[in-house]
Amino acid sequence: MSDTPKKQAFVLRVLQEKCPKCGEGHVFVQNSSFFSLPVMNDHCEKCAYRFDREPGYFLGAMYLSYGFAVLQGIITFFLALFLFPDLPTFWSIFLVLIVILIFGRKNYKLSRVLYIHIFPW
């Protein structure tokens, strides 16, 4: 038997920001404003799984978010370098910063959800 369906389910749950226990409830409040920080639910609305553990639990998620931002920055820099070879360095750096800012909110949410899934309680 292959682990492929389990891996696909894991990736889908993380990308859809679903509960690590039941896979149905949302980790973040769905109607939050785009311009505010995302707000986590205290527990899953389907299975009552508690998302908020103890103070400092999500410090590890910051490392994941940092890794996502660095990866996006490197990819953006090399894409700019190969697609626009005459682009000045200032504009390449500016482009990298814009991409990191655009994906910052998604990185925040994705890193927390991934951290909950990697270290379930």
User: pLDDT at position 2, please?
Assistant: 61
User: pLDDT at position 54, please?
Assistant: 84
Q: What are phi and psi of 28, to 5 degrees?
A: -110, 155
User: pLDDT at position 55, please?
Assistant: 84
User: pLDDT at position 36, please?
Assistant: 79
Spacing of C-alpha 61 from chain mean position = 9
Helices (H) and strands (E) in the chain, counts: 3, 0
Q: What are phi and psi of 107, to 5 degrees?
A: -60, -40
- Digitized pLDDT (tens) for each residue of the chain, 121 residues in all: 466 777 788 889 999 999 988 888 999 988 767 777 888 988 999 998 998 888 888 899 999 999 999 999 999 999 999 999 999 989 999 999 999 999 999 999 999 999 999 887 7
User: pLDDT at position 53, please?
Assistant: 80
Q: Where are the domains of the chain?
A: 4-118
